[in-house]
Amino acid sequence: MTQPQQATETSPALPLSDVARIARLARLKLTENELAIYANQLGKILEFMTVLREVDTTGIEPMISAVPCENVFRDDLIVESLPRKLALANAPKTDGKSFLVPNILG
């Protein structure tokens, strides 16, 4: 297939401050090295995305889903919950009753 133009070596990197902001928003701790690599790669990928600008999408309804379904409901009927032990079984830290996290107010 005719492939869209590939991003070039000279593609602009995403500004490091943007990468850091996005990493914070996504709660990802990245090393300096990772930040630099992602800045570079994301820059290239985003430049590659600019190919989409050439498509006129005026008046085109965004396609959120491929199923034309609507009004899918469940009845308000109780289904047995998981035993607490099982609900907590995969948790990194619990007191046997609740999930434990570092003091939120602290």
Q: What part of residues 2-41 is at the interface with other proteins (CB under 8 A)? A: 2-4, 6-7, 14, 18-19, 22-30, 34, 38, 41
CA 84 – CA 96 distance, rounded (Å): 8
Site for other proteins in 37-96 (CB under 8 A): 38, 41-42, 44-46, 48-49, 51-53, 55, 57, 60-67, 69-82, 84, 86-93, 95
Minimum gap (Å) between residue 12 Cβ and other proteins:
14
CA 20 – CA 28 distance, rounded (Å): 9
Q: Which residue lies nearer to other proteins by CB, 13 or 44? A: 44
Q: How many residues bind other proteins (CB under 8 A)?
A: 74
Minimum gap (Å) between residue 29 Cβ and other proteins:
3
Residue 46: burial class (beta carbons within 10 Å; 0-12, 13-18, 19+): middle
Task: Record the tokens describing residue 104, joined without a space.
Answer: 């939120």
Q: Which residue lies nearer to other proteins by CB, 13 or 14? A: 14
Minimum gap (Å) between residue 63 Cβ and other proteins:
4
Three-state DSSP string of 7-56? CCCCCCCCCHHHHHHHHHHCCCCCCHHHHHHHHHHHHHHHHHHHHHHHCC
